[in-house]
Amino acid sequence: MARVETIALAEVAAVLADPSRAAMCLALLDGRAWTVGELARTAGIAPSTASEHVSRLKEAGFVAGVKQGRHAYVRIADPRVAELIEHLAQHAGHRSASGLRESLRVRRLAFARTCYDHLAGTVGVALRDGMIRTGLVSDGDGLALTARGRTVLGELGVTIPAGRRPLLRACLDWTERRDHLGGALPAALFERGVEAGWFVRRPDRAVVVTEAAGEPLAHLGAQLPADGPGAA
């Protein structure tokens, strides 16, 4: 069994050993679906080469194809894959971070960023703490949305998702070393926040929390530090 696990681990590591595939996976961490052409431009390679890399990623279970009409897209296969890539990226970032610009980037990511399709960092943890403290989410026997939580989220225009994906789950935050909220509901909350202008995505997965977010975050019980990174 140990040898089988060793081989499997080596195969997974080999998938991300190629810089182009690693660049594609990092781009896909924003939770959106990308075309092969877009991934090719991000990785700086030809579309034909990108197609080969996407096929390798599909075979390894890292990404899945999505079709909408005549258009074909690629996205991260599931949240577990996103978490794996996220943790590896953080490990690599710790090893390579240097200089003022990189330090600022790391601070932005630590304050607020996307973790696949939901909020992470200081803001993500503050949301979890606030929603539990104000009774919007209960954690007595696992995480569950309360009736009050449904009411408040409805008032904020957040649609409560229905489907097979868990509504709420704990997701360990690698910068805070504490849990933030993962699952279908935090994804819907973040999507609503982007739509309403509470949150603005940055190209590096950092998220700008705008002034418009103040009131909705207060309704959710989130208490944010006053010295968080700005929009610059």
CATH of the domain at 65: 1.10.10.10
Residue 36 lies in a domain: yes
- Do 64 and 95 lie in a common domain? no
Which pTM does this prediction carry? 0.72
Number of domains making up the chain: 2
Here the tokens at position 156 are 């904020």
Residue 191 lies in a domain: yes
Please say if the pLDDT value at position 38 is more than 50: yes
3-class state of residue 112 by DSSP: coil
Domain that holds residue 10: 2-77
- Do 66 and 140 lie in a common domain? no
Residue 55 lies in a domain: yes
What's the pLDDT band for 14 if we cut at 50, 70, 90? Answer: confident
Mean pLDDT of the chain: 86
Q: Which amino acid is at 34?
A: W
Sign, CA dihedral 55-59-61-66, equals positive
Q: State mean pLDDT over 21-36.
A: 86
- Do 163 and 215 lie in a common domain? yes
- The helix (H) or strand (E) run that includes residue 227 is none
Residue 229 lies in a domain: no
Sign, CA dihedral 32-36-38-44, equals positive
Which of 77, 93, 122 is the C-terminal boundary of a domain?
Answer: 77
- Do 115 and 202 lie in a common domain? yes
- Do 91 and 66 lie in a common domain? no
- Do 42 and 89 lie in a common domain? no
Which of 26, 46, 77 is the C-terminal boundary of a domain?
Answer: 77
- Do 116 and 185 lie in a common domain? yes
Residue 232 lies in a domain: no
Please say if the pLDDT value at position 225 is more than 50: yes
CA distances from 64 to 1, 46, 115, 155 (A): 28, 20, 18, 34
- Do 97 and 197 lie in a common domain? yes
- Do 105 and 139 lie in a common domain? yes
Which of 77, 98, 132 is the C-terminal boundary of a domain?
Answer: 77
Sign, CA dihedral 123-126-128-131, equals negative
Instruction: Please check whether residue 221 is in contact with residue 134, taking contact to mean a CB–CB distance below 8 angstroms.
Output: yes
Q: State mean pLDDT over 46-71.
A: 90
- Do 13 and 124 lie in a common domain? no
pLDDT in tens, 148-193: 999 999 999 999 998 888 999 998 887 888 899 999 999 999 999 9
- Do 215 and 158 lie in a common domain? yes
Residue 228 lies in a domain: no
Cβ within 8 Å of residue 152, ≥6 positions away = 136, 219, 220
Residue 129 lies in a domain: yes
Residue 169 lies in a domain: yes
Please say if the pLDDT value at position 126 is more than 90: yes
- Do 47 and 93 lie in a common domain? no
Instruction: Please check whether residue 220 is in contact with residue 152, taking contact to mean a CB–CB distance below 8 angstroms.
Output: yes
